[in-house]
């Protein structure tokens, strides 16, 4: 809304309406001290906004130690989809019984897993013939990746590479 397009009478009317919105002549005016002295609490005859700072604890607050129970536990073995069974225990005795049954207190997703150990376990699960095939396939993949990189080199780059990769005792044949 452009106020420049209003005539002086309309501006005066708008000013009166806006002054009425901020007037403290209404039912529950804010007293000046309510916004200056933030330590005073509201009362039955003295309504005021309540400012509670995070550093000021309430007067009637008594900290108490909480209980660990009931608490969640998870199975150490995952199902086929990788989910762990979740249970609730209600006492220390029940927790120790569940630990003996193969449950743990730590969330399984937060237990660090070593990727090398995972690969080693999967590789060990293969038969010796399959292990040999996997190693041969891995060597072929490495050769294919190197061959693709060599194919992208120019003739000069390829000659420099071959010259630098010659064994020290052999001479390059022309």
In a domain, 94, yes or no: yes
In a domain, 65, yes or no: no
Residues 132 and 104 in one domain: no
> Does residue 133 surpass a pLDDT of 80?
yes
Residue 140: the pLDDT is: 95
Structure tokens at 121: 């376990």
Higher confidence at residue 161 or residue 80?
161
In a domain, 102, yes or no: yes
In a domain, 51, yes or no: no
Higher confidence at residue 105 or residue 114?
105
CA distances from 35 to 30, 46, 57 (A): 8, 13, 20
Q: Once rounded to an integer, what is the mean pLDDT over residues 61-74?
A: 83
Q: Which domain holds residue 121?
A: 117-164
Residues 102 and 135 in one domain: no
CA-based nearest residue to 140, from 129, 127, 132: 132
CA distances from 20 to 10, 32, 47 (A): 15, 18, 22
Residues 98 and 122 in one domain: no
Residues 121 and 105 in one domain: no
In a domain, 3, yes or no: no
Domain count, the chain: 2
Residues 103 and 121 in one domain: no
CA-based nearest residue to 111, from 129, 142, 84: 84
Return d(Cα 172, Cα 101) in angstroms, integer. Answer: 69
Residue 98: the pLDDT is: 94
In a domain, 37, yes or no: no
**Phi, psi for residue 68 in degrees, rounded to 5:** -80, -15
> Does residue 24 surpass a pLDDT of 60?
no
**Phi, psi for residue 19 in degrees, rounded to 5:** -65, -35
Q: Once rounded to an integer, what is the mean pLDDT over residues 77-103?
A: 89
Could you read off the pLDDT of 92-105 as tens digits, one per residue? 999 999 999 999 99
In a domain, 7, yes or no: no
Residues 123 and 106 in one domain: no
When mean pLDDT is compared over 43-57, 62-76, 128-142, the highest value belongs to 128-142
């Amino acid at each position: 809304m452009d106020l420049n397009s209003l005539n002086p009478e309309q501006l005066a009317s708008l000013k009166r309406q806006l002054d009425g919105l901020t007037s403290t002549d209404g039912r529950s005016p804010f007293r000046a001290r309510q916004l200056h002295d933030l330590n005073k609490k509201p009362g039955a005859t003295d309504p005021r906004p309540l400012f509670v700072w995070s550093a000021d604890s309430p007067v009637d607050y008594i900290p108490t130690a909480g209980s660990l129970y009931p608490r969640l536990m998870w199975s150490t073995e995952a199902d086929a989809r990788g989910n762990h069974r979740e249970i609730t225990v209600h006492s220390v005795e029940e927790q120790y019984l569940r630990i003996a049954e193969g449950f743990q207190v730590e969330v399984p997703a937060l237990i660090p897993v070593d990727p090398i150990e995972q690969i080693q376990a999967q590789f060990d699960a293969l038969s010796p013939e399959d292990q040999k095939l996997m190693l041969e396939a891995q060597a072929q993949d490495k050769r294919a990746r190197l061959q693709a990189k060599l194919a992208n080199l120019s003739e000069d780059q390829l000659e420099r590479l071959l010259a630098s990769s010659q064994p020290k005792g052999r001479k390059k044949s022309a």
